[in-house]
Structure 1
Amino acid sequence: MIQFLLILLIVRHGFGTRNDEEKKLNLLVRGWAPLVWLAPGERFMPLGVPEFLEHVQAGDNYLRTRLNIETLLMNESSFLYGKQPDGNVPVYALVKNCINLPISTSSSSATINSFIIDRKRIKQHRAFIPRDENNDINASIQNNEVATTKVKANHGEMTLISDENTFRKLHFHVTYWMFYPFSEGKAVCVLDLGFLGTWPIPSVGGICLGKLKGYGNHVGDWEHMSLYFKGDDYPVAMYVSAHDAGAYYRYDIRSGTFVYESQETRKGIFQKPIFPERVFTSSGSHPVLFSAKGSHGLWTAPGKHKFVRLPRLYDESGFGIPWLTWRRLELLNSDNEQFTPAWMTFRGKWGNPRSNCHPLVRLGFNICEFVDGPTGIPMKNGRFQC
């Protein structure tokens, strides 16, 4: 009987520890979710996937709109224009658990049914406030204050900071996915050459001597950023994606900012954007990012960003509508497909096939007014590995 009770106690403690770890993981994922500023004048807002799926139908590996795209765009109340994000639109946080680090040798204290830890910790509170109309950043750091952290294990009350000698250290990475029903392409200065179609030409002194024509629009738009945690209550690194490029940052605990490390171009040879040296945080933990007007590429600073050299294409971002992504966050577990939504199994394109294309499309040039919709989360490669 005594042996049975001991086994039962160990099993119950194991489940309790696991539940505590899951709670801490959820706290970290929500506590470090980004603050995303939509651009001033943004027309195409984000939308939840279930609502998007009500307006499309699957066929030939595409999710096509039930109505004509041009008809939908003429109606600004259509689903293509999305919704005001804060509190209305979910962000999908895909978590990948890595192998947990070994339990500390002093973990025997975890067998105690309850404990209270009092310790002093210096916390820096940071506010992120736009300074003026030019979108300059003013990261004001308030005075340090001493905080007391209390943890009760048996009641599951826990802050972002837990006793490192009691719980196994968490090791995981998380990707925050944001979905938009429509991505607006870029207006390019072109010259009409008859049966050869329209060709891009450079503007002269900022004036287009031909005509402006929009290219690269598409139904469906997935944007993302990722954080990597390894044993601490703050991330080791961050990855921010902008179109077919992205930048890696490391977290500097002393300044409470993310510092630029490197960048990559995932596809093509003409994309080489410039990323700033630092990314600031809001409330001491939420990375502050900026969604480009129309295209929704994520940038780490406001302003005008050249991301394609030929033809020259720019993104514009700034302090428009704030999207506090942690207010409605849906966690997805990449290790357990049984509990993921059914739409995560779709491997096709999240939008209509390309249309209104340039004659050179037959030679492999993807020059279309409407391009293919993007692939979904399961088809994207993660930027961090365990």
Structure 2
Amino acid sequence: MWMCVVVRYGGVVTCGRISTCIGGYSTFGHHVGDWERVVITFKDDKLYSIYLYIHGSEATAQFGGEFIWDGQSFKQGSRTVSLTECSHPVIYSAKGSHGSWPEPGEHVYKDIIMDKLVDSCSDGQDWQTWNNLKVVKNTGAPFTGEFSFLNFKGRWGNRESECTLRTIGIDQCILSNGPTGPLN
């Protein structure tokens, strides 16, 4: 399941004694447009797993990834993705960044020299995505009709800027590149 989000708000961090916001706070990772993804897998027509993607491969490997269906819930070690209505997985979307998490709370997904990037999730408004789901079959041919936008191969949103922290080895920009589309 892909979810398109209009704006991705970055994390607020302390700038310390570097960059143009010395001693203050700034946000890193803003960009226009975002695609978030949760994948539900079936094997032999039976529910098998749910896969949570969180802010790229590093955060996904540490906090998300594949949760296997055990007949009652999705599990990964001691972590569980809960269900609603006995059949729908509950995924928590972080405020502003929209990262997909298996539980509510404060989630540190990246340490940068002077602070941490944190996603905040709570038991907010339910998104009953199963009531507005569109199945798209990818045959390899160009998409037509309402899904023709999927043919776009460029970036959705702005180019990165204000990347002054790279001079000290921090690969974060105040304004990050918009994402590529879901098929790139």
1:334 to 138, 142, 161: 138
- In structure 2, relative to structure 1, the CA distance for the partners of 1:366 and 1:284 (3 Å cut) is same
Q: CA contact under 8 A between 2:142 and 2:148: conserved in structure 1?
A: no
Q: CA contact under 8 A between 2:5 and 2:33: conserved in structure 1?
A: yes
2:176 to 371, 375, 379: 371
Q: Tell me, what secondary structure is at the counterpart of 1:368? A: coil
1:190 to 3, 6, 15: 15
1:247 to 56, 59, 65: 65
Structure with the greater alpha carbon radius of gyration: 1
2:125 to 293, 317, 321: 321
The reply on whether 1:353 has 2:165 as its aligned counterpart is: no
The reply on whether 1:293 has 2:95 as its aligned counterpart is: yes
- In structure 2, relative to structure 1, the CA distance for the partners of 1:376 and 1:339 (3 Å cut) is closer
Q: CA contact under 8 A between 1:333 and 1:339: conserved in structure 2?
A: no
Cα distance in 2 for partners of 1:339, 1:189 equals 45
Matched to 2:182, the amino acid is I
| Residues 82-161 of structure 1 mapped to structure 2, 5 A cutoff | none
Cα distance in 1 for partners of 2:73, 2:93 equals 19
Cα distance in 2 for partners of 1:228, 1:308 equals 28
Mark the runs of 5 or more structure 1 residues left unpaired by the alignment.
1-175, 201-209, 262-275, 380-386
- 1:289 Cα deviation from its structure 2 partner: 0.5
| Residues 70-81 of structure 1 mapped to structure 2, 5 A cutoff | none
- In structure 2, relative to structure 1, the CA distance for the partners of 1:365 and 1:212 (3 Å cut) is closer
Q: Tell me, what secondary structure is at the counterpart of 1:315? A: strand
User: What count of residue pairs does the alignment treat as equivalent?
Assistant: 174
Cα distance in 2 for partners of 1:360, 1:236 equals 41
Higher helix proportion (structure 1 or 2): 1
Using the size of structure 1 for normalisation, the TM-score is 0.42
Aligned partner of 2:24 in structure 1 is: 211
Mark the runs of 5 or more structure 2 residues left unpaired by the alignment.
none
Using the size of structure 2 for normalisation, the TM-score is 0.85
- 1:359 Cα deviation from its structure 2 partner: 6.3
Cα distance in 2 for partners of 1:336, 1:285 equals 31
Aligned partner of 1:257 in structure 2 is: 73
Matched to 1:304, the amino acid is E
1:282 to 84, 104, 107: 84
Deviations 1:147-190 (A, max 9, x none): xxxxxxxxxxxxxxxxxxxxxxxxxxxxx000101000011101
Deviations 1:100-120 (A, max 9, x none): xxxxxxxxxxxxxxxxxxxxx
Following TM superposition, where does structure 1 have runs of at least 4 consecutive aligned residues deviating by more than 3 angstroms? Answer: 336-340, 363-367
- In structure 2, relative to structure 1, the CA distance for the partners of 1:368 and 1:285 (3 Å cut) is same
Cα distance in 2 for partners of 1:296, 1:359 equals 24
The reply on whether 1:224 has 2:49 as its aligned counterpart is: no
Moved more, 238-247 or 338-347: 338-347
The reply on whether 1:236 has 2:70 as its aligned counterpart is: no
Cα distance in 1 for partners of 2:151, 2:169 equals 29
Q: CA contact under 8 A between 2:38 and 2:53: conserved in structure 1?
A: yes
Cα distance in 1 for partners of 2:171, 2:178 equals 13
- 1:358 Cα deviation from its structure 2 partner: 1.3
Q: Tell me, what secondary structure is at the counterpart of 1:236? A: strand
Q: CA contact under 8 A between 1:191 and 1:198: conserved in structure 2?
A: no
Q: CA contact under 8 A between 1:184 and 1:216: conserved in structure 2?
A: yes
Deviations 1:272-331 (A, max 9, x none): xxxx61111111211000000100000011111111133422111011111000111111
Q: CA contact under 8 A between 1:188 and 1:213: conserved in structure 2?
A: yes
- 1:339 Cα deviation from its structure 2 partner: 4.8
RMSD (CA atoms): 2.2
- Once the two structures are aligned, what percentage of the paired residues are identical? 34
